[in-house]
Amino acid sequence: MSTLSTPVKNAITSLTQSQHEPFYLYDLDALSGHLKLLTEQSVVKLWYAVKANPLSSVIQTLDKAGFNFDVASSGELQQVLAQGIDAKRVLNTGPAKSKHQIETFLTQGVNTFVAESLNQVAWLQDAAQRHNTALRILLRVQLRWPDNEKNPLGGDSLTPFGLGAQEWGALTVSDYPNLDFVGLHIFQWGNMLEAEKLASLWQQMVDPLMTLAQQLKIDLRVLDLGGGLGIPYADGQPHIDWPTILRSLEHIKAQTNIDELWMELGRYAVGECGYYVNPVVEQKQNYGSNQLILAGGINHILRPAVTSQAFPATLLRESTSATIPYTLHGPLCTALDHLGEHSLPCDINEYDWVVFGQCGAYGFTESMPYFLCHTLPSEYIYQSGQVRCIRPPLTPENYLR
Ligand SMILES: Cc1ncc(COP(=O)(O)O)c(C=O)c1O
């Protein structure tokens, strides 16, 4: 797990002296260092899944590191293009590509799409023909294993992401002259921390995917394995081993003779660079438990409520007091506003701040910011030793109508 470096801790402490509201801070120096390690290889082409954190300066850092961009909405596309990134470096994934959205993407010059349904294929063909252009298409495949067989991909859970091999079997690729079916896309797992387990999942998918490509008469040049690489959120959890991931990918490449492997990384790319910094309102004892009430909760950082997995928390101030267990709560009028169980010093008071780590991915933009009309958190970056506010706080009078 990333530890708060002294310069970043000092920068946060300095910000808290003039702030009263929770805020995010992203350590872009640490992010650049991490991305360099990921891109120093020629095994897998890396795309950044913008949904993980669409902040302009985060996107710019990924751009500088050599990532391309996976976007899942017109809003994400706009944000990427606004950073001066060429539309030809954009890939569009996502189950809800309406005709209108497809039109917007083609108008903006995007030419690489992951198709998730037969309709999407037909609508992409219509749009490509109208625009007199050719598109690169990957078909998103959702695999299942029959009952009682080894079932690595989550059993029978049906998702809207892509189609089963049987459903794709209805496709005749020669019916779509403007679409070059370059590959297949598969991604059915999340927050994996063990490289060997992921390698074993990928290995079990190779045969069914190769069989499908043959059946559809697709000249398979690209295999996109999505995201799903994890980061540790709890003490004692391991870091996934990137060299082992690369070795498994190299093996798949050799085995399949595919030209390019792609991954679009979200959490693993940016998760460790972010901090959510949250003022303490009070601590109280209730039915024998220590409760810590914080100014911000799932209105700013929803993930603990939907995954039951807390972000790691520390007290910003140094304290020599003994630690005790606390349950952390935000300000919302729902018991869902719970930021986990944490061991923190017993002398925490209403002048303190709690810093949550691992908040660079699936933080603010995954949250429910308007509930109870609190101020939306500001977002700061730490870069080359300087702190800069990228998005100021938004007070309710500026968003309520
Ligand atoms: C199609 C696709 N690719 C990549 C990602 C990023 O996943 P992760 O953050 O696990 O890397 C997502 C996340 O939802 C996704 O939907």
Q: Residues of 320-337 as b/e, b for ≥16 C-beta within 10 angstroms? A: eeeeeebebbbbbeeeeb
Distance 49 CA to ligand 1 centre (A): 6
Q: What is the pLDDT of residue 160?
A: 93
Task: Give strand ranges (E) for 72-205.
Answer: 90-92, 112-115, 135-140, 179-185
Ligand 1 closest atom vs CA 265: 11
Token output for 352? 């303190």
End-to-end CA distance of the chain: 41
What are the structural domain ranges in the chain?
A: 86-265, 272-398
Q: What is the pLDDT of residue 148?
A: 54
For ligand 1, atom 4, which residue shows the shortest CA distance? 227
Ranges of the chain whose pLDDT falls below 50: none
- The label of the residue with tokens 């998702």 reads 159
Tens of pLDDT, residue by residue over 179-190, are 999 999 999 888
Q: Residues of 154-164 as b/e, b for ≥16 C-beta within 10 angstroms? A: eeeeeeebbbe
- Active-site residue, 333 included: yes
- Ligand 1 proximity of 266 Cβ (cutoff 6 Å): yes
Cα(338)–Cα(297) distance, integer angstroms: 7
C-alpha closest to that of 227 among 190, 184, 174: 190
| Superfamily of domain 86-265, CATH level 4 | Alanine racemase (3.20.20.10)
Question: 3-class SS at 231?
Answer: coil
Ligand 1 closest atom vs CA 140: 1
Ligand 1 closest atom vs CA 93: 1
Contacts of 149 (CB under 8 A, 6+ apart): none
Token output for 92? 């569009």
* Residue 396 phi, psi (nearest 5): -55, -35
Contact present, 169 and 217 (Cβ < 8 Å): no
Cα(134)–Cα(125) distance, integer angstroms: 9
Ligand 1 closest atom vs CA 267: 9
Distance of CA 276 to the CA centre of its chain: 16
Domains 86-265 and 272-398 are alike in CATH topology: no
For ligand 1, atom 10, which residue shows the shortest CA distance? 228
- Ligand 1 proximity of 162 Cβ (cutoff 6 Å): no
Cα(160)–Cα(119) distance, integer angstroms: 13
What is the CATH number assigned to the segment(s) 272-398? 2.40.37.10
For ligand 1, atom 9, which residue shows the shortest CA distance? 266
- Among 38, 51, 159, 267, the mutation site with the greatest number of ligand 1 atoms within 8 A of its Cβ is 51
Ligand 1 closest atom vs CA 271: 9
Tens of pLDDT, residue by residue over 44-66, are 999 999 999 999 999 999 999 99
* Residue 392 phi, psi (nearest 5): -70, 165
- CA-to-CA separations, 325 to 288, 292, 313, 380, in angstroms, rounded: 11, 10, 12, 30
Of the listed 273, 333, 346, 389, which one is catalytic? 333
Residue type, 19: Q
- Ligand 1 proximity of 26 Cβ (cutoff 6 Å): no
Q: Tell me how crowded residue 127 is: count the other CB atoms within 10 A of its CB.
A: 20
As a dihedral over the C-alpha atoms of residue 78, residue 298, residue 387, residue 19, rounded to 10 degrees, the angle is: 130
- Among 50, 264, 265, the mutation site with the greatest number of ligand 1 atoms within 8 A of its Cβ is 264
As a dihedral over the C-alpha atoms of residue 30, residue 33, residue 36, residue 37, rounded to 10 degrees, the angle is: -100
- Among 116, 192, 265, the mutation site with the greatest number of ligand 1 atoms within 8 A of its Cβ is 265
Q: What is the pLDDT of residue 134?
A: 98
- Among 46, 114, 187, the mutation site with the greatest number of ligand 1 atoms within 8 A of its Cβ is 187
- CA-to-CA separations, 80 to 56, 67, 87, in angstroms, rounded: 8, 12, 8
Q: What is the pLDDT of residue 243?
A: 97
Distance 392 CA to ligand 1 centre (A): 27
Cα(313)–Cα(277) distance, integer angstroms: 10
Distance 285 CA to ligand 1 centre (A): 40
Token output for 82? 């606004």
